[in-house]
Each structure stands twice: as C-alpha cells, then as structure tokens.
Structure 1
Amino acid sequence: MRNLIILLALFLCSKAYSQSQQTALDTLEIRYQQCLGNSHNMYSCAVTYYKQLDSLLNTTLRYLYSSLNTGRQQKLQEEQLAWETKKEEYFKKIDERVEKMHKRTMEGLDDEMISTDNKAAFIKERLTTLLNI
C-alpha cells in the first residue's frame, strides 16, 4: 500500500510538472506571436523565442533524466542523441540556405528571422514530444 501511494505521488508530480511546462511553452508562443505582431525587430523576437525554447528544452531534459528509472533514462539518452544529430543536419541545411539567400536578397535579417523561426519550430517539436512522455 505504501509503495502504491509513493508511485501515485510520483505520477501526480510528473503530470503536474508536464502541465506546468506545457503552460510555459504556451506562454512563450503567445509572447512570440505578440512580439511578431508589433512588426518591429522581428529578428530579435525570433532569437529571444529560440533561446527561451532551448532553455525550456534543457530544463525539461534535466527533469526527465532525474525522474526516470535507469532503463528509461538510457532510452531517452539514445533518443536525444539521435535527435541532436538530426538537429545539427537540419540547422546546417537552414544555415546554408540562408547564406545563399543573402546573396540574392536586400534584407538579410528577414532571412535570418525565418531561419531562426524554423530552428525554434524544430526545438518546439522536440519539446512537445518530451512533454508527452
């Protein structure tokens, strides 16, 4: 009975954490859209959003590593390494595309903003996946 209560408490804490992180993610998204809606410094909006998502991703990963059993930690670590490899490849392609576009466009910051937005979306997708573990 005692073990059941402990497991239930851990489950509820995990659910509460996941919900608070989802709320944080939703709040970041709302702030980002509001910032973009101002039509000023849109590149700065994208950079801030990207950094905040990356920070939330790192916080979520640290929490998951500390709360999962050894077997699930190992699986998460393997999945994260595979994701990191995909991220590096994807970001490299985006950066190469932006570099080519700089030569054809007048406004380099527009290209950088779109690139940063795409990178943020990639991180957000991973974060959403992790919040549903």
Structure 2
Amino acid sequence: MIQKSAFVFFILVAFQCNAQTMETVNKVKNAYQTCLNSGSGMKNCSIEYYNQSDSLLNVAYKNLKLKLSSKEQSRLKKEQLDWVKKRDLYFEKVYSDTKKEGHFIEGSSDFDMVVFDEKANYVFTRVKELIKRI
C-alpha cells in the first residue's frame, strides 16, 4: 500500500512539473497494463487505475483553473459540474450493462475489475480534454 501511495504521489508531482503532458497519462496507463499483465490482483490494479484517473482529473482541473480569469473559472466550474452529472449517469450505466451482460457475477473480482476499468477510461477522457486546454 505504501508503494502504491508513493507511486500516486510521484505521478501527481510529475504531472504538475511536466506541464500537464499526455506523457504522464500514458505512464499511468502503461503502469496499469503492467499491473494487469502480472496476472494477480487485477481487481486492485483496476481500482488503483481508477483512483489515479480521479487524482489526475483533480490536478488537471486545478491547473487549468489557475490559468483562467474569474469569469472563465465560473464557466469551467459549471462545465465540470455538468460533466460530473454525466459521469455519474455513465457509471450507473456501466454497472447495469456489466450486470446485464451476464459474463461476470455481480460483486466478483472480475465484475469489479471491468467496472473500475470502464470508469477510469471515462475519467481519463476528461483528463485529456482538460490537459489540451492548459
């Protein structure tokens, strides 16, 4: 757990220092794939991947906000709140669709892994959008 926390801290520091590059996002994605390729603890890999996507979203949002006028910040805040509503609906749909597909037993490690993977990918799409605007 300490190792993962240190990794997240490193990523966040690197993310701030590297002027919000897509390289940082790619590093997180590569680390996730390496974790999955290990073949063990894959549910934990996807949970950590989601947590990292959420952390990077917060960093990207804050860094973009710093570069905007107060009027633009207000628009960004409204935009982000609208996105959060869409995200929540999407997350509900992902859960429901994964349950309907019937390939995985609800609550199983495989089920959770798929759901967290989809959630993270959705959040990373927003992270990339914000990075492009910084």
1:62 partner SS: helix
Match of 2:20 in 1: 18
**Distance in 1, Cα, partners of 2:127 & 2:104:** 33
**Structure 1 Cα separation of the partners of residues 92 and 104 of structure 2:** 20
Q: Tell me how far 1:120 sits from its aligned partner.
A: 0.3
3-state SS in 2 of match to 1:40: coil
Match of 2:7 in 1: none
Distance 1:80 1:47 in 2: 23
Q: Which residue of 2 aligns with 1:95?
A: 95
Q: Which residue does 2:124 correspond to in 1? A: 124
- Output the aligned Cα RMSD: 2.1
Q: Following superposition of structure 1 onto structure 2, how do residues 1-133 of structure 1 map, counting pairs within 5 Å?
A: 17-19=19-21, 22-99=22-99, 105=104, 108-133=108-133
In the TM superposition, what is the alpha-carbon distance from 1:105 to its structure 2 partner?
4.1
Deviations 1:48-86 (A, max 9, x none): 111011001111111212221122212211211111010
Q: Does the CA contact (< 8 Å) of 1:98 and 1:112 recur in 2?
A: no
Q: For residue 90 of structure 2, what is the amino acid of its counterpart? A: Y
**Which stretches of structure 1, 4 residues or longer, exceed 3 Å deviation after superposition?**
97-102, 104-107
**Cα distance in structure 2, aligned partners of 1:126 and 1:106:** 29
Q: Displacement of 1:97 after TM fit?
A: 3.5
Q: Is the 8 A contact 2:98 2:104 kept in 1?
A: no
1:94 is displaced (CA, Å) by 1.9
Q: CA deviation at 1:96?
A: 2.8
Instruction: Give the C-alpha shift of residue 100 in structure 1.
Output: 5.0
**Conserved in 2, the CA contact under 8 Å of 1:101 and 1:111?**
no
Alignment gaps of 5+ in structure 2: 1-17
Q: TM-score, normalized by length of structure 1?
A: 0.77
Given the superposition, is the C-alpha separation of residues 69 and 93 from structure 1 closer, same or farther in structure 2, using an over 3 Å criterion?
same
Which has more helix, going by share of residues?
1
TM-score by length of 2: 0.76
> Which residue of structure 1 aligns with residue 5 of structure 2?
none
Q: How many residues align?
A: 116
